[in-house]
């Protein structure tokens, strides 16, 4: 067993002394995220620059049985990159190369540290006809981490989870081998993460870094239309929202459908704001899509159940911005720098029940709430966020927010939802009710891939 200083020296040898820290300040910062999970300090933070360096670190960690936690920007807010057992946090953001854009096969290959913001900007500049599914997370969220947590984005109504858009992986396995997944394992092209081969990407996506460290990722790109607009509809009837979402997706004209519910500002109170995003290459195309959307909801308009809200340019600008800065601003509603959300993935028919629960829980724990729901696939499911803001200088409010979140998570599970980017408490809730054979399979996979149990321990830990 190496001493701490010998481990430090070994890491320095691999990545260079500028990119390893065991100083208190880095250990403090990398011990926590912006959410409510309790912190736990790593022993080291290291920033590799290549897959080879990651490989060396993994081999070292295996030899010494030291936990390894790969980290993007830590924006899941559910503590997924808090090193529960210490060890080494690998900040992957130095691996920041956009390796390849294949315009004809419409994919991009990025290193693990490439952020959504940088990819968006790069595509706009160099490949303006192409785009990727940008999440509403801040631009510093990494493409890889977002795929690993099955994030959603602006193209999820059309194409599913952002992880569904993955088109290949390069992974350093927990035992140190570098492994390619998908078409890139037999071909120079990164067009498919699985088919027609056995789809091994499922061994890594959704596992929160417990089965390997993704060092490169292929991502599908989609046509970027020249024009984009948002249509804003209002209703005060929660029970109509699933039907509205279905009607919108039925048109196959809508890029993205988002529903927001929040009590403040007062103009929001008691209403649900449905945003339908449309795109086109010409005014005619946009106008046609507007008409299709309008026709789809006509019956609701006639019944005066749904209204159309004409938006001023000032009002429209934040709705159109990608990513939306408004998402972060929720953290400062109570001038306190914190928010967290439980985001169950659930059938859309659950919308009314979830809204009722959100309001009930917010009142019960006296916390400020908001919700943003995104349709995933044309009606297959939605991500419903139970979001609560809190003041980081007020421990009592933080405790109430955490209780509110936990209650919402339990409720969502009881209602048939599945918890998204689940924290360790939520992971346990799900594993407790998971089909035992599924659970046993997960355990076998973990033991097979990570015999020493070094990868992000504490997560997906089957007891």
Partner 1 sequence: MQKYVSQIHRCFRCGYCKFPSDYSSFNCPSYRRFRFDSYSTGGRLWLIYAWLKGEIEWSEHLADVLYACTTCRNCSEQCPMKFAPDIVDWIVGARSDMVEKGRIPPRVARFFEAIYGYGNPFKQLRSDRAAWANGTRRYTRGDEYLLYVGCLGSYDENAQRMARDLVHILNASGVSFGILGEEEECCGNEVHMLGEAGLSQNLIEKNTQKFKELGVTKIITLCPHGYNTMKNMYPAAGGNFEVYHYTQIVNDLIKRSKTKPARTRAKVTYHDPCFLGRYNNIYDEPRHVLHSVAGIELVEMERNRKDAFCCGGGSGNFVNDLLAGSPDSPARIRAREAYETGADTLAVACPGCLTMLTDAVKAENLDDKLAVKDISQILKQALAG
Would you tell me which residues interact with partner 1 (CB under 8 A)?
18-19, 21, 23-26, 28-30, 33-34, 45, 47, 73-75, 91, 93-94, 115, 117-118, 120-122, 124-125, 138-140, 325-326, 328-329, 331-332, 335-339, 391-393
How many CA atoms within 13 Å lie on the side-chain side of 397? Answer: 19
**Whole-number minimum distance, CB 243 to partner 1, in Å?**
34
- Residue 81 or 169 with smaller CB distance to partner 1: 81
- Residue 53 or 164 with smaller CB distance to partner 1: 53
Give the integer Cα–Cα distance in Å for 65 and 43. Answer: 13
- Residue 12 or 430 with smaller CB distance to partner 1: 12
- Residue 223 or 395 with smaller CB distance to partner 1: 395
> By three-state DSSP, how is residue 110 classified?
strand
- Residue 161 or 330 with smaller CB distance to partner 1: 330
- Residue 325 or 356 with smaller CB distance to partner 1: 325
- Residue 25 or 435 with smaller CB distance to partner 1: 25
For helices 351-365 and 241-250, what crossing angle results, to 10°? Answer: 140
| Cβ contact 98:164 at 8 Å | no
How many CA atoms within 13 Å lie on the side-chain side of 273? Answer: 23
**Whole-number minimum distance, CB 323 to partner 1, in Å?**
9
H or E, element range at 99: strand 98-102
| Cβ contact 153:221 at 8 Å | no
Q: Which two tokens stand for residue 101?
A: 């854009």
**Whole-number minimum distance, CB 414 to partner 1, in Å?**
31
H or E, element range at 370: strand 368-376
Give the integer Cα–Cα distance in Å for 374 and 154. Answer: 9
**Whole-number minimum distance, CB 64 to partner 1, in Å?**
23
**Whole-number minimum distance, CB 386 to partner 1, in Å?**
18
Give the integer Cα–Cα distance in Å for 339 and 269. Answer: 20
368 Cβ partners below 8 Å, 6+ apart? 263, 264, 333, 334, 362, 388, 389
User: Dihedral (C-alpha) 113, 114, 118, 124: value to the nearest 10 degrees?
Assistant: 180
**Whole-number minimum distance, CB 326 to partner 1, in Å?**
8
Q: Which two tokens stand for residue 201?
A: 């990407």
**Whole-number minimum distance, CB 325 to partner 1, in Å?**
4
| Cβ contact 460:446 at 8 Å | yes
- Residue 104 or 125 with smaller CB distance to partner 1: 125
- Residue 236 or 332 with smaller CB distance to partner 1: 332
Closest listed residue to residue 217, CA positions, set 95, 128, 303, 117 = 95
**Whole-number minimum distance, CB 157 to partner 1, in Å?**
23
- Residue 338 or 379 with smaller CB distance to partner 1: 338
Q: Which two tokens stand for residue 106?
A: 């419409």
| Cβ contact 314:322 at 8 Å | no
**Whole-number minimum distance, CB 41 to partner 1, in Å?**
11
How many CA atoms within 13 Å lie on the side-chain side of 85? Answer: 14
| Cβ contact 301:244 at 8 Å | no
Closest listed residue to residue 248, CA positions, set 208, 228, 277, 281 = 277
**Whole-number minimum distance, CB 284 to partner 1, in Å?**
30
């Amino acid at each position: 067993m190496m001493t701490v200083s010998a481990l430090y020296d070994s890491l320095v040898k691999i990545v260079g002394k500028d990119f390893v820290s065991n100083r208190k300040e880095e250990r403090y910062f990398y011990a926590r995220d912006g959410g409510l999970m309790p912190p736990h300090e790593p022993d080291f933070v290291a920033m590799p620059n290549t897959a080879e360096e990651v490989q060396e670190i993994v081999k070292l960690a295996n030899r010494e049985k030291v936990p390894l936690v790969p980290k993007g920007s830590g924006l899941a807010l559910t503590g997924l990159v808090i090193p529960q057992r210490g060890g080494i946090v690998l900040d992957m953001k130095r691996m920041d190369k956009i390796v390849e854009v294949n315009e004809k096969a419409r994919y991009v290959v990025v290193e693990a540290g490439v952020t959504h913001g940088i990819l968006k900007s790069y595509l706009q500049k160099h490949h303006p006809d192409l785009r990727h599914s940008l999440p509403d997370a801040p631009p510093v969220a990494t493409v890889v981490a977002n795929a690993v947590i099955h994030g959603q984005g602006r193209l999820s109504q059309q194409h599913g989870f952002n992880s569904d858009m993955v088109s290949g992986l390069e992974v350093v396995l927990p035992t140190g081998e570098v492994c390619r997944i998908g078409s890139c394992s037999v071909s120079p092209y990164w067009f498919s993460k699985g088919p027609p081969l056995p789809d091994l990407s499922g061994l890594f996506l959704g596992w929160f870094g417990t089965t390997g460290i993704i060092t490169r990722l292929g991502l599908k790109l989609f046509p970027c239309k020249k024009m984009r607009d948002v249509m804003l509809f209002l209703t005060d009837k929660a029970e109509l929202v699933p039907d509205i979402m279905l009607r919108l997706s039925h048109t196959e004209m809508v890029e993205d459908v988002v529903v927001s519910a929040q009590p403040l500002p007062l103009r929001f109170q008691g209403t649900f704001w449905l945003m339908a995003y449309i795109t086109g290459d010409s005014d005619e195309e946009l106008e046609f899509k507007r008409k299709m959307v309008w026709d789809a909801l006509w019956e609701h308009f006639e019944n005066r159940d749904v209204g159309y809200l004409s938006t001023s340019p000032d009002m429209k600008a934040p709705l159109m911005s990608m990513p939306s800065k408004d998402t972060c601003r929720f953290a400062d509603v109570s001038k306190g720098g914190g928010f967290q959300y439980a985001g169950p993935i659930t059938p859309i028919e659950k919308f009314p029940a979830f809204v009722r629960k959100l309001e009930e829980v917010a009142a019960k724990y006296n916390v400020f709430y908001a919700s943003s729901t995104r349709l995933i696939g044309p009606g297959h499911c939605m991500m419903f966020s139970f979001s609560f803001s809190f003041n980081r200088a007020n421990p009592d409010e933080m405790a109430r927010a955490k209780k509110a979140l936990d209650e919402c998570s339990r409720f969502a599970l009881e209602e048939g939802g599945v918890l998204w980017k689940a924290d360790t408490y939520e992971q346990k809730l799900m594993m407790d009710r998971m089909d035992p054979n599924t659970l046993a399979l997960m355990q076998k996979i973990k033991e097979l891939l990570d015999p020493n149990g070094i990868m992000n321990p504490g997560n997906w830990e089957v007891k």
